[in-house]
């Protein structure tokens, strides 16, 4: 009750239990994110597999998100990266990866294991060139909140795991 109100940029001297604490109230400018992803809308098509996706992201597994549009691809990749918050995702992620990207050859080669990265793609060409990746999510059009997709399939072809949602 006897402490002064904090004032941004001022140093306060606060007595507590016989000791005076010097508190600096310099406030750095915190910019809010430009775009906050609706994680629930992005995960709606694959809701039943959200725990598995969380584990894949947490472990830094290579993951491809195939979507019909760049915005859906980007939002889903960002939702995956944000789903492990407050932990920081330390691997690479590309919300919208194209065939013109400088790492295209590195990511599509079959001679080595895929790197720890989350790729968001829209080009159907990637369905063939990235089929050797261990984890692939195919999403259709994202539905407004509240609509549940009619069908969600998990396909297993040898070592390939694909989540395929059909509206």
Domain boundaries, the chain: 39-166
How far apart, in whole angstroms, are the C-alpha atoms of residue 35 and residue 115?
27
pLDDT at 151 (0 to 100): 47
* Distances from the Cα of 157 to the Cα of 28, 75, 130, 135, 152, angstroms: 51, 27, 14, 11, 16
Residues (pLDDT < 50) of the chain are 145, 148, 150-152, 157, 160
* pLDDT tens-digit series, residues 48-87: 899 999 999 999 999 999 999 999 999 999 999 999 988 9
CATH topology of domain 39-166: Rossmann fold (3.40.50)
CA separation for the pair 92, 136 (Å, rounded): 16
Q: Is 139 helix (H, G, I), strand (E, B) or coil?
A: coil
Supply the pLDDT for residue 9: 78
- The pLDDT score that the predictor gives to residue 14 is 86
CA distance 63 to 91: 11
């Amino acid at each position: 009750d006897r402490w002064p109100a904090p004032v941004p940029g001022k140093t306060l001297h606060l007595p507590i239990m016989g000791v005076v604490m010097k508190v600096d109230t310099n406030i750095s400018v915190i910019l809010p994110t430009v775009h906050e992803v609706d994680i629930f809308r992005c995960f709606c098509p694959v809701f039943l597999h959200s725990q598995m996706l969380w584990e894949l992201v947490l472990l830094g597994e290579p993951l491809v998100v195939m979507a019909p549009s760049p915005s859906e691809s980007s939002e889903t990749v960002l939702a995956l990266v944000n789903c492990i918050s407050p932990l920081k995702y330390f691997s690479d992620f590309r919300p919208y990866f194209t065939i013109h990207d400088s790492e295209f050859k590195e990511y599509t080669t079959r001679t080595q294991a895929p790197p720890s990265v989350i790729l968001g793609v829209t080009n159907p060409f990637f369905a063939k060139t990235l089929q050797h990746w261990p984890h692939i999510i195919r999403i259709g059009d994202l539905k407004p909140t509240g609509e549940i997709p009619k069908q969600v399939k998990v396909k297993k072809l040898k070592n390939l795991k694909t989540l395929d949602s059909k509206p």
